[in-house]
Chains A and B, each alone.
Chain A
Amino acid sequence: MKPLMDNKLSRRTLIKSTATATGGLLLAFHLPAFSKARPFEHYSESGEEINAWLAIDADDTITIRVAQAEMGQGVFTSMPMIVAEELEADWRNVRAEYADTNRSIRQDRVYRRTNTGGSRAVRRSREYLQQAGAEARERLIKAAAEQWLVSPDECYADYGRIYHKGSERSTNYGAIAAAAAKVSVAGVRIKTPEEFNLLGLPTPRLDVPAKVDGTATFGMDIRLPGMVYAAVVHCPVLGGEVRSVRFNAVRNRAGVLKSVRMKRSVAIVAENYWQAKTAVEAMPVQWVLGSGEKAYSETFKREFVAELEKEGKVLKEFGDVAGAMDDAEKSFESDYVVPYLAHACMEPLNCTVHVQEDRVDVWLGTQFPESALAVTAEITGQLPENVYIHNCFLGGGFGRRSSTDYVEEAVHIAKEIGKPVQMIWSREEDMRGGHYRPMAAMRFKAGFDLDKNLIAYSNHSVTHSILADQGRASKEVDSSSVSGLVDMPYEVKHKKISHTAKNTHLTSWWWRSVGHSQNAYAMECFVDEMALSSRMDPIAFRRKHLPDRPDLLNVLEVLEKESGWGKQNLPRGTAQGVAIHESFGTICGQVAEVTVSDKGELKIERIVSVVDCGNLVNPLTAEMQVESAIMYGLTAALYGKLTVENGVVLEDNLDTYRIVAMAEAPVIETHFALSGGDKWGGLGEPATPPVAPAVCNALYKITGRRIRILPIKDYMLQRA
């Protein structure tokens, strides 16, 4: 029986014809809870390891190892699906566990990439995961053929069994796994998308059962014998340092064991976290506040905008922009500004470490386990092969958990303690811990001829450089600062793109969709300005200036249709705005339908997305990622802002750093317009960038006011 293959073609056709990916298509069966609550723990060693990526038990259970971090994006399902597809596995027998980072560094990077970020999981791993599955399948076939004394060419694998074509003989995988582990094969071919049976089918997530009963283990949920807890307070001004600490003031409190002084922070270790947290917050600490002491975000804003007046480094120049602007019948310019943003993962940063003489163990949620391993080895002086990273489920990542700042602190503390220590940053410490989405200011200028044709376009961006914060500054421009700007897709004869890096005492980091998040906002709002200035419909204007981009045009066409663009009789105070952006190999177009009441209250009614990522592994998690990326972008657009006064970030918890809640959540409709071929675009991030411009463009229609500084909450909205 092959339940997964039933109606395969009709299902696939439906998806390709841009039907909503899951509605009504979801497979009507459910899988056993095949994901460990503690994902770093390995299933029994009883299974036969066919290759590093998978093991098969005698009862046909297949354990597939996942080298990327499960932070909500569904890699614990999508990555095993890629392996299982080639393995011709019975999906109901598949379970997932983390690949072992320590093994990967000991065995010449057997798991290739263990980092998670940049919407790369499928994009960068698909081919070698397919290879791993195909190689295992061919070994199973070869082992069966050897047992039957026939040629492997006469045998094939299908849905968890090997069959011999010339006879009735067949075997399940479990029975042949031990033999398959000992044979070798070479030159294995992988499937093309037309041959897929499993990839492209909406498949329930393997990690869901553990996430509805409280057993899914996040970093903070690790409990070890003899474990103690650490709470930390950092200098309130980023970059500042500890001057002095009076541990004596709190050392007699119940449960308090020790204080640890670090360069930029102090920790208290206690028997439980509440004792540690209250003690560290009561402990008198004097700080050297450092260069950020007098910093204000309002000053940053003025300084970034002032920098726009100067010449930036020219990254791209076609034609003669200055001449064309002079010749233009009409020209105008606009400045856009975005603030620093925190990631605000639901699970505050934490890390549990046990330093022993011959080994160091680290339990945490990390996007970069090899970086965590490397810093642990360095701080403890231990050999990397004696450091064990036990990755957990991540309570949100969004880029933040690719940093090692919190790991380094936990290792420093654990070195002093000699017992397992769980260090937790309070929400406030997490929010003030830097690593923010960069602040940026952008200036755009457009020139039009007599017939209202766009003839000249220039853009200068001034952006806090992430690379510079990572100590990787070079003479080249930080490409993440200008992503989406430097490769803007609209055709214009005279074009100039320039950039200036400008850093403050705050630190920046990759934040879901990185530079695209702020750049698409500013650019796609300005495209709307250009369209309206030339009295064109915003979609028609985009279409006119994308003559050589059939992929973008196709997304726009589907978006126009699915959103009912221009066709609906919207009530007074309601309007649609559009934006389209390509990032991480995927195009995402969105229409936001927005209402402003006569009292000035804002409601985001509906967001329609059309996505072209080429091919889909799991349409279910793909659709969930689009929904999630939209909500992340919406929070940023509506509320996201960090205010700095006297160098201190004021928004240090979720009361002041507001997150969009259920009542504000719009209706979300997601459509996939898949172009197929070799394109396998990312999905974790590309739906974030278009949200802010789509919403702001709709708001302009209602209010007549252009939102050029985010967030939207800072504006009094009024119907025009």
Chain B
Amino acid sequence: MISLQINGEDVEVDVDPSTPLLWVLRDNLNMTGTKYGCGISQCGACTVLMNGQATKSCSTSVSQAAKFNIVTIEGLSIDSDHPVQKAWIEEDVPQCGYCQSGQILSAVALLNDTANPTDEEINQAMTNICRCGTYKRIRKAIHRVAQERGAD
């Protein structure tokens, strides 16, 4: 049994400790918001937060993940009202939508570290792939969150 802390809850899973966190989330816990895209830490569709850091769950074994506080897209907010989710809606970011859980969590991690990121900082932090090419709107949505926070 491996104990995990996911979205503020303690859960126990009975899996091989080398199983990637991604598949434990998806298959054992039926939390399918975290996506499989490449399996080699390239595309970022599987991004979750581990102690606030954007982390590729496809390349993190469940045993490594056990020490961390994990947040998935399901746990980011109760009513889709996290400022980043709201900005994503305002800017109509998603197209097919498959990569967007990972994009949103990467943006959350970036904005936690850097309240008002420059375009260059966005380029550095947002390495998640979007095959629909929604980058323009992702960038706008991140700036929107920063501006709205600044305005508060």
Contact = CB atoms under 8 A, between A and B. Distances in A.
Interface of A: 30, 33, 71-74, 204-205, 207-218, 220-221, 223, 229, 254, 272-275, 344-348, 393-398, 424, 426-427, 620, 624, 627-628, 630-632, 634, 653-655, 659-663, 665, 667-668
21 contacts: A30-B89, A72-B95, A208-B97, A209-B89, A211-B94, A211-B97, A212-B85, A212-B100, A213-B80, A254-B16, A345-B131, A346-B99, A347-B37, A395-B35, A424-B36, A628-B132, A630-B133, A654-B42, A662-B126, A663-B124, A668-B136
A466 B34 CA distance: 35
Contact of A393 (B15, B89, B97, B131): B97
Given A205-B94, A395-B96, A632-B133, 9 more contacts: A211-B100, A218-B35, A220-B36, A223-B30, A345-B96, A346-B45, A396-B98, A427-B40, A627-B136
A208 B94 contact: yes
For chain A, what secondary structure do more than half of its interface residues adopt (helix, strand, loop), or is it mixed?
loop
B130 A346 contact: yes
A345 B45 CA distance: 12
Nearest to B43: A654
B15, B38, B123, most chain A CB atoms within 10 A: B38
| CB-based closest 8 A-B pairs | A214-B33, A631-B133, A395-B98, A211-B97, A72-B95, A72-B96, A214-B73, A663-B123
Given A209-B89, A214-B73, A628-B134, A655 B42 contact: yes
Contacts of A273: 23, 26-27
A274 B135 contact: no
B139 to A, nearest CB: 7
A654 B72 contact: no
A431 to B, nearest CB: 10
A595 to B, nearest CB: 16
A633 to B, nearest CB: 9
A392 to B, nearest CB: 11
Contacts of A210: 97
Contact of B131 (A204, A344, A667, A668): A344
Contacts of A72: 94-97, 132
Given A72-B95, A427-B38, A272 B27 contact: yes
Contacts of B101: 214
Contacts of B139: 662, 665
A275 B23 CA distance: 10
Contacts of A660: 133
A272 B37 contact: no
Given A661-B127, A665-B135, A213 B96 contact: no
B12 interface: no
Contacts of A394: 96
A584 B135 CA distance: 25
B23 A628 contact: no
B138 interface: yes
B32 interface: yes
A397 B23 CA distance: 24
B92 to A, nearest CB: 6
A275 B24 CA distance: 11
Contacts of A215: 33
For chain B, what secondary structure do more than half of its interface residues adopt (helix, strand, loop), or is it mixed?
loop
A208 B30 CA distance: 22
Nearest to B33: A214
Contacts of B30: 223
B95 A624 contact: yes
Contacts, number: 180
Interface of B: 15-16, 19-20, 23, 26-28, 30-40, 42-43, 45, 72-74, 76-77, 80, 85, 88-90, 92-101, 104, 122-124, 126-139
A72, A345, A348, most chain B CB atoms within 10 A: A72
Contacts of A668: 136
Contact of A347 (B35, B126, B130, B135): B35
Contacts of B93: 208, 212
Given A254-B16, A396-B131, A347 B138 contact: no
Contacts of A218: 35, 98
Given A211-B94, A212-B88, A214-B34, A274 B19 contact: yes
Nearest to A213: B80
Given A30-B89, A209-B80, A661-B127, A214 B74 contact: yes
A396 B96 contact: yes
Contact of A346 (B23, B43, B88, B104): B43
A213 B131 CA distance: 19
A71 B36 CA distance: 17
Contacts of B137: 624, 627
A348 B36 contact: yes
Contacts of A663: 123-124, 127
A274 B104 contact: no
A395 B128 CA distance: 15
Given A273-B27, A274-B27, A632-B133, A208 B124 contact: no
B20 A73 contact: no
A346 B131 contact: yes
Contacts of A654: 37-38, 40, 42-43, 129
B130 to A, nearest CB: 7
A30 B139 CA distance: 21
A631 to B, nearest CB: 2
A272, A394, A654, most chain B CB atoms within 10 A: A654
Contact of B104 (A212, A275, A393, A424): A212
A659 B92 contact: no
A207, A660, A665, most chain B CB atoms within 10 A: A665
Contact of A272 (B28, B98, B126): B28
B15, B26, B98, B122, most chain A CB atoms within 10 A: B98
B30, B80, B137, most chain A CB atoms within 10 A: B80
A628 B133 contact: yes
Contacts of B124: 663
Given A212-B85, A212-B88, A214-B34, A427 B131 contact: no
Nearest to B62: A274
A396 B40 contact: no
A162 to B, nearest CB: 33
Contacts of A208: 88-89, 92-94, 97
Contacts of A426: 39
Contacts of B32: 214, 217, 220-221, 223
Contacts of B92: 204-205, 208, 620, 624
B82 to A, nearest CB: 9
Nearest to A656: B42
